[in-house]
Structure 1
């Protein structure tokens, strides 16, 4: 007598998304891709501007101060970009995180465990690579957090440039990785890059956040209420000594991101839809324009690979990220018995892990915070971020191109809609009504073929066609 088949208790990793989640991921990544292309253009513009005869004008614009000094806000244009514009970026990141926690991949602790572990390992490994490089090379440990960040917009821009479309499961995994990565980056900035606290300003910022939350809870509407309040909270947070971008995250997390009643979009989704174009299309590219302009020369490029600080950043992004995310994913899948989707392979996961080594926006921000007292070293670290991100982008492009035909076939299968009802066929295969419609379509096509065959036969019989 044969032994009974064992009960399947394992779960699919990178399995098919639900239709609403697939649509949300597609919409979110479409906006990020456009922002990523603008980010790429801004970075190239900054490099050209800073390495031509116009370099003095670049420095003049970047260092120009503006703002009310009485409020402690007499800042350079570069600081306004880093502390002000990026607060908008982190506000959107806060909304994304809230949505993932209540309605996305992170709402189920079992399903969330794998991407969270992967993202955490993808931050720990680069930090360890950086520390090891600088301990051996007797360098500074201050920049350990620089290679820990992933720039989802820049990564998607690379995909757009090389013309590769990832299957929805891989895109969702990359997006979830980036959201969790942003969360840990926020914690790193809040904990490790906080100067002496001004408790009066911090108390005012907390009070402002409480008022912000109460207004949301009461259902009060009107941008003319929330925008001035957000600016006050941001100004108080800046003067408290905690990085001002934390204010943006806190307000984003307060928004409701689940649906109530028959509403089509939650308030968080609606506001994200309004703010994301400003964040991706203006705030982040302007930050890149004012931060990525470092002097590039043969000597400076050589120092990137010979100085322990800069080499640690490059190795952290290129090696640490890939090994950390892939290793964390493989171990998590192994111990949680999550079976990989049969349409994909582990090299696909490694390619995405390599793509996550593009750490542009937040890495530049952390580099500015870590080496604020050493402008020369700050510029070298920025150059290392650019070089490391470029290497990661090239390696990921090669790995993804090796599987591009497989991805194209999977994407075509996901989008196939033979009954033209607006719902991909893969989501209707268990629906009897779908099979009835498909049978009717096939029968109609068969009848058309029979009619054409009869007409062709009659034509030959009348001598009108070839014998």
Structure 2
């Protein structure tokens, strides 16, 4: 007996209502945090290019901590190694949510965004390597242009006052989640110094305890906060970048709700810490990482030295080409089809927007280039590349904003004021 052909799934179509609600809540915080992040980056750049730049450097390089525990760090390193652990903990929670209930929960739905994200990491790295090799430069910065900054990208959308449909924003969020996973693996594998196996064993034991607390449904912040700080400190002293501890704990948090629970531990943690991450941790990191002295010689070297030029090309050209080509190939060779209301120009705009690689790109740049002079050029390249990518994406998005506004208004219209958009009450979303 012949079987009916399987219906093709719609790429960038209407999201199921629960997924749309989760995405909307996550992106609302990211957008506000992105605006704060944007403001912090502007303050850092202005401060570092005024007569008060000396005060900026003194604050950034000021050391404090507990030397006996190996934690005597500068303000810059506290923000990069300490506060960003909160950011990566939230990234771990979002990654697990995507794997349990989001776009990555089944191979069929995960294939397209994962292929797009992987191509969006491989192509920029390859373009950087080709540029650096051709100019006789260092290959150490190959990972710098690989990461997408979802908060900064959403801040650009907020400034543009656009109305992207939830599916487009969800695709961008999924790309960023997979990007974050790639960045985490790169930091853990390629930017790990000499390992202290005793401290590593202690950190692993702490993660086992963390898992057992979750498994046996132990609640109370007084268990998790001291344990989390201990795991972070041990991970740092083990020689592994301490942000990896944040991701590991985020992945261990339970995302499913027990009977009678109004929210899972992952949801409660994200609700409590997401504003801290987006409004405090990431902006403070930006404040002390983006303070680059911009001068004519610095700008000249960004486009003449192979390493910073490779970063700019990786972010602007590599990200765009990689994500767009990966998406096209995935649609071409799978059962997915593009939403008929959208065009490939919309995918191109998102691919360009993904070239904004701020937070994680700056972090990897600092790890890849310990020399302050080299790091300054790489930071300038990240800022310039992100600015160019944002500008090009803004032109495309503005041209298509009429389409986005129509789709956004259609999917948010609620004429009967029952809290459920009308489109979900007349459309079967199971095939979307």
TM-score, L = length of structure 2: 0.97
**C-alpha separation in 1, matches of 2:56 and 2:344:** 45
The match for 1:436 is none
The match for 1:269 is 267
**C-alpha separation in 1, matches of 2:427 and 2:84:** 46
The match for 2:207 is 209
- Cα-to-partner distance string for 1:324-364 (whole Å, 9 max, x where unaligned): 00100000111113111111111100100100000000000
**C-alpha separation in 2, matches of 1:160 and 1:280:** 15
The match for 1:229 is 227
Please, which of 283, 286, 294 is the counterpart of residue 285 of structure 1? 283
TM-score, L = length of structure 1: 0.90
Is the 1:150–1:181 Cα contact (8 Å) retained in structure 2? yes
The match for 1:56 is 54
User: How far is the alpha carbon of 1:263 from its aligned partner?
Assistant: 2.9
The count of aligned residue pairs is 427
- Cα-to-partner distance string for 1:70-112 (whole Å, 9 max, x where unaligned): 1000011100000000000000000000111111111011100
The match for 1:392 is 389
After TM superposition, the runs of 4+ consecutive aligned structure 1 residues lying more than 6 A away are none
Please, which of 313, 319, 322 is the counterpart of residue 320 of structure 2? 322
**C-alpha separation in 1, matches of 2:119 and 2:427:** 38
Whose relative contact order is higher, 1 or 2, with alpha carbons under 8 Å and at least 6 apart? 2
Change (3 A) 1:330 1:81: same
Find out whether 1:72 has 2:70 as its counterpart.
Answer: yes
- Cα-to-partner distance string for 1:343-398 (whole Å, 9 max, x where unaligned): 111110010010000000000000000001x1101000000000000000000000
- Cα-to-partner distance string for 1:394-430 (whole Å, 9 max, x where unaligned): 0000000000011000001001122222211111115
Please, which of 14, 22, 25 is the counterpart of residue 24 of structure 1? 22
User: How far is the alpha carbon of 1:10 from its aligned partner?
Assistant: 2.3
The match for 2:348 is 350
**Which runs of 5 or more residues in structure 2 are unaligned?**
none
Is the 1:127–1:316 Cα contact (8 Å) retained in structure 2? yes
Find out whether 1:414 has 2:377 as its counterpart.
Answer: no
**C-alpha separation in 1, matches of 2:231 and 2:105:** 29
The match for 2:174 is 176
1:403 is paired with a residue whose SS is helix
User: How far is the alpha carbon of 1:19 from its aligned partner?
Assistant: 0.6
**Which runs of 5 or more residues in structure 1 are unaligned?**
432-467
User: How far is the alpha carbon of 1:267 from its aligned partner?
Assistant: 1.4
Is the 1:130–1:144 Cα contact (8 Å) retained in structure 2? yes
1:402 is paired with a residue whose SS is helix
Is the 1:67–1:75 Cα contact (8 Å) retained in structure 2? yes
1:74 is paired with a residue whose SS is strand
- Cα-to-partner distance string for 1:174-199 (whole Å, 9 max, x where unaligned): 00011011001000000000000000
User: How far is the alpha carbon of 1:302 from its aligned partner?
Assistant: 1.3
| C-alpha RMSD of matched pairs (Å) | 1.3
Please, which of 350, 355, 374 is the counterpart of residue 377 of structure 1? 374
Is the 1:99–1:258 Cα contact (8 Å) retained in structure 2? no
